[in-house]
Structure 1
Amino acid sequence: MSTNHIRALCDYIDASPTAFHAVDSSQALLKAHGAVRLYEGDSWKLDQGSLYFVVRDDAALIAFRTGTSAPAEAGFAIAGAHTDAPGLRARIEKSVESRGMERVAVEVYGGPIHSSWLDRPLSLAGRVVTRGVDGGFRVGLVNFARPMAQIPNLAIHFNRDMNKGVEFPVNTALLPLVAVRGASKTVVKDSSGYSWVLGALAVELGIPESDILSAELAFTDAARSFVYGNDNEILSAPRIDNLAGCHAILTAFCAARPAVHGQMAVLFDNEEIGSATSRGAASSLLSTIISRICIASRRNGTGMNEAMGSGTGTGTGGSGYNEAEDSYRALAKSFQVSVDGAQAWHPAYADKFDEDFAPVLNGGPAVKANANVRYATEAIGESMFRSWC
């Protein structure tokens, strides 16, 4: 991997503390390569070989390049990844205070390793909805991008069995410490409705607390990505699962040239909690966008090798044209790769791995397969993927 690519990956990860920011960073990369944003509520007009992207709810994105042939005839090459990562989501409605020490209530998102969140600097980032000057509301992103909190562990003097394994209850042991009243001259109002998060947001955004209508915030690792090793061969970064996959897909997508088939880079949200949301992989997002591309391509003649019909029929195309059939045909002729992190062989836990098949760091792409089809890999698809690598 080139030094420039590693630096670009680190910059992408550091600029993407949440799924919202990952999509924002992805939009910037796509726009730099001439991609045009489309909106699901608008009618689409597509040009052959051009780049487009669609964003759903600020946290999922699909970018595509139209092919030189109609989608129903050539299909799509699709690569997908996810923008979210396990962590701690802040509850903005209240603070938890005891003996002058103020903490923020949190909820666990996905399956983080609880102990890894202790004794490290944490920042805060996410999406905020504020009151607009016209009486409506505005949606924006916030990234404090500096240490704002820490979850202090218990001193070993109080638990000599600490290194034998400890459970960390979310509602007590995993609450980030954000302030100590006696340590600052700042006056904190004492009421049951007080929220440190709202106060911090108001200061950061330069608006009254009353103008903050809602927010989706997460505590994030404040440390930046870095490389080390004799030849800088090791990358350490937060959220590398799966921002590394997102960046790899986008980099390849932007560097690709138009082809007969369409090309799609798909970044879903909520993989860490099962994908069953409107912006997750189990949603209709991908199938809807494919159908829209097929309809727009037929309407606008994007597939230049395909003649447009002139008669009447089902849908918007020519004689006998069926919108659903075009998307079904396109899907049948498509190939999809799901890109995610693979757990590399760990020298301290070698007994947890299959010695003959464990992936190793810097060993190239790993292909995941499972007899019970926990992964979608099958013989034909694996053969095709290996031939490309």
Structure 2
Amino acid sequence: MTHSAINQSLADFIQASPTPFHATEQLAQRLVAAGYEHLDERTDWALKEGGRYLVTRNGSSLIAFSLGRPDQLHTGLRLVGAHTDSPCLKVKPQPELEQQGLWQLGVEVYGGALLAPWFDRDLSLAGRLTFRTGDGHLGSRLIDFKRPIATIPSLAIHLNRGANDGVAINAQTDLPPLLAHCHEPKRQLRDLLKQQLLDEHPDCQAEQVLDYELSFYDTQAPATLGLKGDFFSSARLDNLLSCHAGLTALLESDGAQPCVLVCTDHEEIGSSSACGADGPFLEDVLSRLLPDNAERIRALQHSVMVSADNAHAVHPNFADRHDGNHGPKLNAGPVIKINSNQRYATNSETAAFFRHLCDQAEVPVQSFVVRSDMGCGSTIGPITASRLGVRTVDIGVPTFAMHSIRELAGSQDAAYLIKVLTHYFNSAQLI
């Protein structure tokens, strides 16, 4: 695939994935279309030699695996990990607000969001609804309004003369999005959701929406931009770009080696959940692939995990926020992320292995180390390494404006990442 074709595929994937539920659904649909079989954790599995399978948990996390040639599992797994969630504004359980004749919804900040860019955007709403049907059964469906239905207006500078001096944003009082004028009887969100549910799923027979998990998102479509198309701009690049790259590489691999793609939820809030990287999801799946404990440990000690999560590119206006020798650049290839305090799981062996892969795939590669006087973020890499004992390298595509409502990457870097991950999935030898 060309860079432009890859970026269009990425744009389509992100546009269809406003929430982790939608991202997982998109991943599953593309895998099933490629011949992967959808397994259910609640049933017995009858895995076939050379089979290709996927399993989801909570509708927001997914693990896909290709078993490769017969009797290859003991030689080691090629694992790629990413996460489906992004910082956002989530709707509270009882969110209705009526202020100054306007109808708003109370929101809670999810993850370490950069809040200022959320103002004055055309927002929509998407997520999962759980409802009761007319015959008393429970059901769940995904909804997506798609069209702009809300905004968070800024306060005019005339009323806030210090706005450009850096004003703190109060998440409780400053962020409730504006949706409509009030009217009588009072608006109820669940009534609006029920109508949207029936519009999108007319066969669901919903009688009452009982609960929901909903997120606001920016409706602006992804775009390739710049005088020469050098940049790719979108919401949720962290970390749907890595999910898409892992998926594409898995589908383009030759299938000869045992490969695993892990896309889990809740990374932005620590991964501690039933479907997060710090939960048992991956271990549960691996224990069913390799039921014998000793055999599973041997296989994992032959395995490598590539934890793919975006990296900080050196910002031309804020270059002093980087270590002078470690400033990754856009369109210069994936970044190996290193931290001596194990905020990243990379060590010299796994870094060398990834450099070797990039050299073989003819992909440029970079390094990132945070300034010694600044705190360092983390990823699913150290969590997975500590839970499984698997050798891990943390890497990612360099980006600007991480955790903003709109992030920026190089237009060539998604293709670079897919190329090296495909080579990795096809590699007959690991470390």
TM-score by length of 2: 0.79
Match of 1:280 in 2: 276
1:326 equivalent to 2:326? Answer no
**CA spacing shift, 1:206–1:188, aligned 2, 3 Å:** farther
Match of 1:233 among 224, 230, 241: 230
For residue 130 of structure 1, report the CA deviation from its aligned partner.
1.5
For residue 209 of structure 1, report the CA deviation from its aligned partner.
8.6
**Whole-angstrom CA distance in 1 between matches of 2:157 and 2:72:** 62
1:201 equivalent to 2:193? Answer yes
**Whole-angstrom CA distance in 1 between matches of 2:314 and 2:54:** 36
**Whole-angstrom CA distance in 2 between matches of 1:143 and 1:38:** 26
**Whole-angstrom CA distance in 2 between matches of 1:233 and 1:133:** 53
**Whole-angstrom CA distance in 1 between matches of 2:30 and 2:254:** 16
Match of 1:379 among 348, 360, 363: 348
For residue 282 of structure 1, report the CA deviation from its aligned partner.
0.5
Equivalent residue pairs, number: 352
1:109-258 → structure 2 map (5 Å cutoff): 109-181=110-182, 187-190=183-186, 195=188, 197-206=189-198, 211-258=208-255
Match of 1:270 in 2: 266
Match of 2:317 in 1: 348
Match of 1:368 in 2: 337
For residue 276 of structure 1, report the CA deviation from its aligned partner.
0.5
Q: Give the 4+ runs in structure 1 shifted more than 4 A.
A: 207-210
The answer (yes or no) to whether the contact 1:86–1:110 under 8 Å persists in 2 is yes
1:19-38 → structure 2 map (5 Å cutoff): 19-38=20-39
1:101-112 → structure 2 map (5 Å cutoff): 101-112=102-113
Q: Which of the pair has the greater relative contact order for Cα pairs under 8 Å at 6+ separation?
A: 1
**Whole-angstrom CA distance in 2 between matches of 1:206 and 1:93:** 21
Letter in 1 for 2:261: A
Q: Which has the larger radius of gyration?
A: 1
Gaps of 5+ in 2: 200-204, 359-431
**Whole-angstrom CA distance in 1 between matches of 2:80 and 2:165:** 42
TM-score by length of 1: 0.87
Q: What RMSD over aligned residues (CA atoms) do the two structures have, in Å? A: 1.6
Instruction: Name the SS of the counterpart of 1:171 in structure 2.
Output: coil
**Whole-angstrom CA distance in 2 between matches of 1:210 and 1:56:** 26
**Whole-angstrom CA distance in 2 between matches of 1:271 and 1:213:** 27
Gaps of 5+ in 1: 182-186, 296-322
1:31-110 → structure 2 map (5 Å cutoff): 31-70=32-71, 73-110=74-111
The answer (yes or no) to whether the contact 1:71–1:330 under 8 Å persists in 2 is no
For residue 99 of structure 1, report the CA deviation from its aligned partner.
2.1
**Whole-angstrom CA distance in 2 between matches of 1:143 and 1:73:** 43
Match of 2:379 in 1: none
The answer (yes or no) to whether the contact 1:70–1:294 under 8 Å persists in 2 is no
Percent identity between matched residues is 39
